[in-house]
């Protein structure tokens, strides 16, 4: 199981990486913006993407659309500060599977993983 965290904030990436590790995800890569994320996704196979929304260079929304346009179907969870319901609706219609508002509790991440990764409970047991 390999995940990619995409966020321009070092703190956010650290918090997400900690939550993923606690949820039993063994391999975690990081990208600082959408361009770097797309490059990594083209070169590696990821089972899960955690994506910020409000980033410099390329927004999370545009990054999600680009990933989907390239035919990648892994679950994408947008993790963003933005709480506006219209924004959430736009994010989900862009191709993201789910949405988490910052700040989050680690258990929120594990709950979402159980939803979007069918074998995540098995993953926990295997570790």
Partner 1 sequence: MDQPNSSGGDAQAKRPVAIGSGMTSTKHEFRAEYVNPFIRSVSNLFRTLFKCNVERKEVVLKRRLPPNLDIVALAGLSGGVRGLVALAFPVRTALAMVSRAYDERIVVVDDKVLDAVAECVNIVAGGAQSELASAAGTPIVLSLPTVIRGNDFSLEYPALRNWVEVPFTSELGPFSIRITIAANRSESDSNASIDCG
35 contacts partner 1 (rule: CB under 8 A): no
Give 39's contacts (C-beta < 8 A, 6+ positions apart): 31
Judged by CB under 8 A, the stretch of 9-17, 23-31, 39-47, 115-123 that binds partner 1 is 9-17
Tell me which DSSP letter residue 118 carries.
Answer: T
Using a 10 angstrom Cβ sphere, with 0-12 exposed, 13-18 middle and 19 or more buried, the burial of residue 56 is exposed
Which residues within the stretch 40-99 sit at the binding site for partner 1 (CB under 8 A)? 54, 56, 80-87
Judged by CB under 8 A, the stretch of 8-16, 38-46, 66-74, 110-118 that binds partner 1 is 8-16
Is the CB of 7 or the CB of 41 nearer to partner 1?
Answer: 7
Is the CB of 68 or the CB of 102 nearer to partner 1?
Answer: 102
Residue 3: its H or E element: strand 2-6
Compute the least distance from the CB of residue 58 to partner 1, in Å: 13
Query: How many residues form the binding site for partner 1 (CB under 8 A)?
Result: 21
> Applying CB under 8 A, which residues contact partner 1?
9-12, 14-15, 54, 56, 80-87, 101-105
């Amino acid at each position: 199981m390999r995940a990619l965290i995409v966020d321009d904030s070092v703190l956010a990436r650290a918090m997400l990486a900690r939550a993923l590790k606690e949820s039993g995800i063994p391999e975690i890569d990081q990208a600082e913006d959408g361009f770097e994320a797309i490059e990594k996704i083209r070169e590696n196979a990821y089972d899960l993407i955690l994506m910020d929304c409000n980033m410099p260079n390329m927004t999370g929304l545009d990054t999600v659309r680009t990933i989907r346009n390239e035919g990648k179907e892994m679950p994408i969870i947008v993790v963003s500060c933005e709480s506006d319901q219209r924004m959430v609706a736009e994010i989900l219609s862009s191709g993201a599977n789910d949405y988490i508002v910052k700040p989050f509790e680690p258990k929120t991440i594990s709950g979402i993983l159980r939803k979007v990764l069918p074998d995540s409970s098995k993953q926990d047991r295997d570790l």
